[in-house]
Structures are given as structure tokens and as C-alpha cells.
Amino acid sequence: MTDHDVLPFSVIAGNRKAKKALLCLLVNPNLRSMLVTGDSGTGKTALVRSLASLNPDVPLINVPIGVTEDRLFGSINIEKAIATGQMEPEIGLLGEADGGAVCIDGIDLMEKLTALQALETASKGKVIIEREGLSVEYPARIKLLATVTSLRDRLDPHLKDRFDMCVKMHRPDEEEYLQSVRNNLRFYDGDTSFLEHYEKLDRQLLAHVEKARILLPQVKLLKKHRKAIAEVCEKYGVPGMRGLVSCGQCAVALAALAGRKRTNDDDILLASEYTLNHRRTVFETEEKKEPEPQPLAYPNRDMALFIHDERKGNTESRIVDKINEDVNPDEITDLLETKTESDDEDTELVAKVSARFDTIDLMEEADYFGKESDSKHSRYVESPGGKYTGFRIPKGECNDIAVDATIRAAAPYQKSRGRGKGMVKIS
């Protein structure tokens, strides 16, 4: 038995949907990021960190709270720059995790620009550094997993859209909750004998994931399912193309996990929940009632027809004329029968997705107790106090010096200034 730093994936109680989403992330290389939300104590961090036990050969790096941008993405090697005057890149945490996964716990506490850059790195599979005269890039093919305590009113919509998938953790039922408490108590007391059973389950899951990866290129996303995804995106105001693409990629991953070569309606339902729910901008699905037709301003029908007929290009005129024409009932029946069975299936699938979103909205309303004060979300202040987030070249008198950026800018020129006393000269 080896030393255990995290709980196995299989030991996490309940939350089968969230665990299945994590398996989809492992199966499909085109899915690169996942956001895990939920109340405190629901196991968000335990879920994302359990990836290390599910696949021990893949590196998993936990990004510490308050990490600097230089440490996360990389910068120049200051020691070499001071000693030799040469600017060489120093790989950051994202580069060190190449081929593995990165866990950002509490991404809502991270600077928005830094979070966006991290998601962009995961999407492109490489880190690009352009700073202090240094232009370099290095591979960072990673899976980015992040957690946030509450999704609503905490993350910028543009930031949420960058995540391929988003799942919510819930407190398990009473029996699973009690079992989870017992497992945690034994784990933190140093008793790891009970983990053998769960580690065996993890190995079986990993073998299942490997089979799904092999099957994935053969899985086909049906045309009617592509159409249904597009209709859901349009109906719920999902911006851009990321949601549509992510939903299709998630659906084929679900089909591969089930051992199928074609997607079915259940894949689309679950994939829509994983990839579209956090992106939608429309939350009211009830159709607005059409206004009741107003009576004509002219009570005399002949007078109304006479006025409309005088306006040759008037649309209302053509409508009134059409109403007065004799209509063959057989023609109406023919028009209704032109609706194909495929259209009915598409409409039914979109309706199922809508019903699922309505259920999610009701659950969110039950969990939501009010909007936080805007003062808690203030990011920038004019005073010198607070967390240092970045630097810029000052315009006019400078009264708040960014020491790290100043040293990096001056380091390549230290050699030409002579050694003297000390290696760094700051005036």
C-alpha cells in the first residue's frame, strides 16, 4: 500500500452525474476544461483531486491560492539574467503539468484576466509568453479543472463560456452521506485499509475509459441530434459556437462510455446539461401569450375592405383578401401532413431539454439566498493596499513601484554596469 494524499475517485459518495462528466473529460481529448460548482462541503475539491488516484501516471498540479502570474505561466529566469545578462524562459506551473491536469480551487478568487489566460492556455494546448522583450511558447496540453462555491452572480459570463463543461455537486442522500463521513474519519486517522476496494474500482474505471478512448473516433453524432443542439442553443441564447461544439463533443464521449457508435437522445439530454446550462442567457421558457386581436377601427366591414384595397402594397390588404377567399379544407390537411416524423422527434427532444433546464432553475432558486453585495466583488482600488495583480509603465510620477517587474527589466543590463558591491543595482 502506497501513501495516499487524496481520496480515490470511487470513494466519493453520490454525485454520479458530476463523476460521469469527469470521465467524459478523460475520454475526449477535445474537452479540455470543467467547472465544478456547489455549496461548501459537497466534495468539489475532493472530486477534482481524485483524478490523481484515478490515473496515477498523469501529473495533477494544484494551483495555490494567491499564485503569481509569473509562477503560473512562466517568466524569465532572473538568476541567469542577472548573472549572464541572457534572457532565458522559466517554465510555470501550466508547463510543468504538460500531459496532465491542473486544479484551480476557488477560481472566482483569481484575477479575471489570469483565469481567462489559463483557460486560453488549456484550449490552445500551449503557453505563450510575450513580456520584457521575451517571446517564447512551450507546450501545456492540460485538462483544467476549477471549483467555485456558487456559480450565480460570481463568475463573469465570458469566463463561464470558456469552460467546456460545468457540473454541480450536491449533498448525497443520508445513507451515502453517513458512509462518506465514516470514510473520511478513517482516512484522516491514517487508516487506509478500506481504500483497497475503491482502488480496485478505480482501476476498472480506468480500463473502461481506455476502451472508450479507442471507440471514440468511430462514434457518430447523428444529424437530428446536431439540429436539436442548435435549436437549444438558439432557444436559450447560448452565445457563440463554443457551447454547440462542446455539447457535440460531450455527447460522443457519453456514447463511447456506453460502448455505442451512435449518439442517442439521452446523450444529448445529459450533454446539454453539462455544456449548455451554464452558458444560457435565457431562463424563462414560458412562451409569451400573443396579444388578443383588436377590433377594426371601422365597424363597417365594407368600408374597411375599401380602404385596404386602395393601398395596393399594404400587407393587411392582402391578408383581408386572403381571408375572404374560399379555402379548400383538403389543402389545409395536406399542409399539416407535410410535417415529417423527424421534425416531431426533434421537437420532442428540445422539449425534454427545456424540461430539464426548468428543473435545474427550480433547484437553483431553492439553493440561492440572495445576491451578494457589489462591494465584495470590488477588484481594483486606488490605494496602495490590497493584493498585487499586475504592473504597467507609469505616466508621470510613480509612487507605487512593482519591484518584481522592475528587477526583471533591469536584470539583462546588470552585467554592463560592473559587479561592484552586490549584483543588483537599484537607484
**pLDDT tens-digit series, residues 26-47:** 999 999 999 999 888 888 988 9
Q: What is the widest separation between alpha-carbon atoms in the chain? A: 105
What pLDDT shows up at residue 274? 95
Burial class of residue 92 (count of CB atoms within 10 Å of its CB; 0-12, 13-18, 19+):
buried
What pLDDT shows up at residue 411? 67
What pLDDT shows up at residue 7? 81
Position with higher pLDDT, 4 vs 66: 66
What pLDDT shows up at residue 142? 93
CA distance 275 to 344: 24
Position with higher pLDDT, 283 vs 215: 215
- Maximum average pLDDT range among 143-152, 273-282, 284-293, 322-331: 273-282
Position with higher pLDDT, 353 vs 274: 274
Position with higher pLDDT, 248 vs 404: 248
Inform me whether the pLDDT recorded for 370 exceeds 50. Answer: no
Strand partners, 35: 146, 166
- Is 188 part of any domain? yes
Residue 293 DSSP class: P
Work out the pLDDT band at 387, boundaries 50, 70, 90: low
Phi, psi for 139 (deg, rounded to 5): -70, 145
What pLDDT shows up at residue 427? 54
- Is 29 part of any domain? yes
Choose among 269, 268, 270, 219: nearest CA to 248. Answer: 268
Average of per-residue pLDDT across 246-275: 95
3-state secondary structure of 219: coil
Q: Please say whether the dihedral angle defined by the alpha carbons of residues 121, 127, 129 and 130, taken in this order, is positive or negative.
A: negative
What pLDDT shows up at residue 417? 63
Range name among 12-16, 278-282, 415-419 with the lowest pLDDT average? 415-419
Cβ count near 207 (within 10 Å): 10
Region for residue 296 given its phi and psi (left: phi exceeds 0; alpha: psi -120 to 50; beta: otherwise): beta
> Given the C-alpha cell 399594404, which residue does it identify?
314
Inform me whether the pLDDT recorded for 330 exceeds 80. Answer: no
Into how many domains does the chain fold?
Answer: 2
CA R_g for the chain: 29
Helix, strand, coil % in the chain, rounded to nearest 5:
50, 10, 40
Residue 290 DSSP class: P
Inform me whether the pLDDT recorded for 56 exceeds 90. Answer: no
**Which of 212, 238, 263 delimits the end of a domain?**
212
Tens-digit pLDDT profile for residues 126-172: 998 887 667 788 899 999 999 998 755 568 888 999 999 999 988 88
**Cell output for 230:** 442548435
Inform me whether the pLDDT recorded for 208 exceeds 90. Answer: yes
> Given the C-alpha cell 488549456, which residue does it identify?
122
DSSP string for 39-94: STTSSHHHHHHTHHHHSTTS-EEEEPTT--HHHHHEEE-HHHHHHH----EEE-HH
What pLDDT shows up at residue 342? 55
Work out the pLDDT band at 258, boundaries 50, 70, 90: very high
What pLDDT shows up at residue 2? 43
- Specify whether 26 is located in the same domain as 165: yes
- Specify whether 121 is located in the same domain as 245: no
- Specify whether 208 is located in the same domain as 241: no
- Specify whether 229 is located in the same domain as 191: no
- Specify whether 237 is located in the same domain as 200: no
- Is 191 part of any domain? yes
CA distance 142 to 126: 9
- Is 394 part of any domain? no
- Is 298 part of any domain? no
Contact 110, 104 (CB under 8 A): yes
Proportion of the chain above pLDDT 90, given as a percent: 33
Distance, CA of 11 to chain centre = 25
CATH assignment of the domain containing 286: 1.10.8.80
- Specify whether 158 is located in the same domain as 244: no
- Specify whether 127 is located in the same domain as 270: no
What pLDDT shows up at residue 121? 92
CA distance 75 to 89: 6
- Is 205 part of any domain? yes
Average of per-residue pLDDT across 299-304: 45
- Specify whether 18 is located in the same domain as 83: yes
Can you give the pTM of this predicted structure? 0.71
- Specify whether 205 is located in the same domain as 237: no
- Is 383 part of any domain? no
Residue 270 DSSP class: H
CATH assignment of the domain containing 31: 3.40.50.300
Give 148-217 as a 3 state SS string: ECCCCCCCCHHHHHCCCEEEEECCCCHHHHHHHHHHHHHHHCCCCCCHHHHHHHHHHHHHHHHHHHHHHH
- What mean pLDDT is reported for the chain? 77
What pLDDT shows up at residue 372? 41
Average of per-residue pLDDT across 395-422: 67
**Cell output for 371:** 445576491
**Which of 212, 242, 269 delimits the end of a domain?**
212
**Which of 181, 212, 243 delimits the end of a domain?**
212
CA distance 250 to 254: 6
- Specify whether 83 is located in the same domain as 232: no
Strand pairing class (33-38; 60-63): unpaired
- Maximum average pLDDT range among 225-234, 304-313, 318-327: 225-234
Q: Which domain holds residue 48?
A: 9-212
What pLDDT shows up at residue 205? 92
- Specify whether 196 is located in the same domain as 225: no
- Specify whether 65 is located in the same domain as 181: yes
What pLDDT shows up at residue 320? 43
CA distance 363 to 352: 17
What pLDDT shows up at residue 281? 87
Distances from the Cα of 49 to the Cα of 91, 115, 234, 391, angstroms: 23, 19, 35, 33
- Is 303 part of any domain? no
What pLDDT shows up at residue 21? 95
